[in-house]
A and B are shown apart, each in its own frame.
Chain A
Amino acid sequence: MNLNNATITELHKLLTDKAISATELTQHFLSRIAENDSEINSFITITPEVAIEEAKAADLVLAKGQHTMLTGIPMAHKDIFCIEDIRTTAGSKMLANFIAPYTSTCIEKLRHAGTVTLGKTNMDEFAMGSSNESSYFGPVHNPWDKTKVPGGSSGGSAASLAACLCVASTGTDTGGSIRQPASMCGLTGLKPTYGRISRWGMIAFASSLDQAGCFTRTAEDAAILLEHMAGHDSKDSTSLNLAVPEFTAALSEPLAGLKVGICSDYFKEGLEPEVENLVMDGIKELAKMGAEVVEIELPHTKFSLSAYYVIAPAECSANLSRYDGVRYGYRCKDPENLEDLYKRSRSEGFGSEVKKRIMVGAFALSAGYYDAYYRKAQQLRRLIKNDFVSAFEQVDVIVGPTAPGTAFPLGAKTNDPVSMYLQDIYTIAASLAGVPAISIPVGLSKGMPVGLQLIGNYLEEAKLLRVAHQFQQQTNWHQQQPQSNLL
């Protein structure tokens, strides 16, 4: 078996059959990172010592037969998750030398399950971006075409998996930051229901939207990971206090009788024709598998982008006020006084996109504008949520494109922020409503991957994963590889 693109399920069998040890598997991926990542730049920090130590511990657990499905599985983690004694930068100069003093709950759970930490992946600064070009540590290159972006903000996590530098990776999704890069890199990318996975120890961008999730090769792998990542955490007051379902249990149920909703708003101007054709082919495939396709309306979806670009900057402006050059993070040289310390540390430590969003947020929250911007956006958010609640009274899942196009050339949109923001036009509504969504590969357009987005009702990740898994049993788009992986 080719280890490079093997799934968690396949590697678990090799590990438990003693065909390979966790240490050998880890060495394999560390070698691949050393040989290939200079061209992709998907990692900010590689942690070989930690990885080998964890792999050796995993081998002991495997020898005792006390393993989980994840024991010995090498993973890469978005550099937004704090891991004790490992540098955690959020892709920013502000945290370029920050060594986290504790480990986030999400990563703690994955480590407890026996995963191996290969390193921390590149990302847009503080998760603000859709192309991974705003990172202080340089842009990430898409393994499918290294002249193109991998999507963002979790671009490093997506690119590292697409380049076979890990077996799975973590990401965060505030407005599409898992689903859009998954679409552009030909991967399965899951954003669970808001609150399903603890945010504790995850560096905050927009707290009412931020949600951890994962990149995998298959929906089955995503189900396995979610079972271990999810669960209540008393340290996160927004964490859902609900039992974690067995997400893998229902994967094999057929789709007969399933109602799939399509919304015309997801197929309007701006969607590349070839992407539209592939998405429609994917919907026809679901129909062939027994699903009934139903037209639905989401009348307030057209306001999603505008509501998001008020709410997310407002929350970012509040969250990022903690970076003041005093307790941790970047500090300017020779401050003249306290105000100079604050202003220069922040101005020198943050990149231009982050500064812009902080100021937009400060504006939206300022006296005289709060009602017209922030309050109005929160009202729209309720209407967008209500649309989904009504839609899910008629259908089981909603299907459409993940992104309006395939990966674009590096630098193509850096001077056109609105065009960059439009990358998330199909993913933002689910983020505002807090419903789960997944992107799965649905074809190639001019050699670049295209994603199909499935949106589910609150807490119905199991149904989403089942639809995605069944689709992947009938298609092989998720098995396609970048040419560079085959050389």
Chain B
Amino acid sequence: MITKQELGVLGDLAQLSLDPESRDSTLRAINEVLELVAIMNTAECEGVKPLAHPLEAEQLLRSDKVTEVNQVAKFSQAAPLFKEGLYLVPKVIE
């Protein structure tokens, strides 16, 4: 179970802000999920190797070659704010 304080930390980790009205319901909902998954604690897993990929596939290596053309003009059309080749964000350094 997590506390209200831990919920604030999670919000920071996940880059999500929680408005005061939804804090209690969010906390309750997260704790319901954690209660649901608590059954895992009854399973004996000593020495079991975690499974990351169902078919045990390994990350493939590719040769270090350019395979894509630069499509900045096309991709930047989806950007909320893009000017002179730059994705614009609020000023970071004064």
Which residues from chain A sit less than 8 Å from chain B, CB to CB? 98-99, 101, 193-195, 208, 234, 237-238, 240, 300, 302-303, 305-307, 309-310, 313, 317, 321, 324-331, 335-344, 346-347, 350, 352, 355-356, 358-363, 366, 372-373, 375-383, 385, 417-418, 421, 432-435, 458
Within 8 A of A (CB), among B52-81: 52-55, 57, 59-60, 62, 71, 74-75, 77-81
Taking CB atoms and an 8 Å cut-off, the chain B residues in 15-65 that contact chain A are 15-19, 22, 26, 29-30, 32-34, 36-41, 43, 45, 48-55, 57, 59-60, 62
| Residues of the B chain whose Cβ atoms lie less than 8 Å from the Cβ of A307 | 37, 40
Partner of A303, one of B10, B29, B33, B43: B43
- In the A-B complex, list the 5 residue pairs whose CB atoms are closest, starting with the nearest: A434-B54, A378-B50, A331-B80, A382-B51, A328-B78
Asked whether, in the complex, the Cβ of B51 is within 8 Å of the Cβ of A381, the reply is yes
Nearest A residue (CB) for B11: A359
Task: Write out the residue numbers on chain B whose beta carbons fall within 8 Å of the beta carbon of A300.
Answer: 43
Known: A375-B50, A380-B45, A382-B50. A347 touches B16 (CB 8 A): yes
User: Taking A328-B78, A433-B54 as contacts, is the C-beta distance between A383 and B48 under 8 angstroms?
Assistant: yes
A292 vs chain B, min Cβ distance (A) = 28
Q: How many interface contacts (CB-CB < 8 Å) are there between A and B?
A: 170
In the complex, which of the residues B10, B37, B75, B90 contacts A337, with contact meaning CB atoms closer than 8 Å?
Answer: B90
Say whether B90 contacts A381, CB under 8 Å.
no
Say yes or no: A344 contacts B87, CB within 8 Å: no
| Chain B interfacial positions (CB closer than 8 Å to A) | 2, 6-7, 10-11, 13-19, 22, 26, 29-30, 32-34, 36-41, 43, 45, 48-55, 57, 59-60, 62, 71, 74-75, 77-81, 87, 89-92
Are A306 and B38 CB-contacts (below 8 A) given A356-B33, A362-B13?
yes
- Which residues of chain A are near B51, meaning CB under 8 Å? 378-379, 381-382, 385
How long is the Cα–Cα vector from A373 to B30 in the complex, in angstroms? 14
Please state if A195 and B30 are interface contacts (CB–CB under 8 Å). no
Closest to A372 in B: B41
Distance, CA A383 to CA B32, complexed state (A): 25
The reply to whether A208 and B49 form a contact with Cβ atoms under 8 Å apart is: no
Knowing A208-B52, A302-B39, A380-B45, say if A98 contacts B78 (CB, 8 Å).
Answer: yes
User: Taking A238-B57, A378-B52 as contacts, is the C-beta distance between A355 and B43 under 8 angstroms?
Assistant: no
Which residues of the partner chain A approach B26 to less than 8 Å between Cβ atoms?
Answer: 352, 355-356, 359
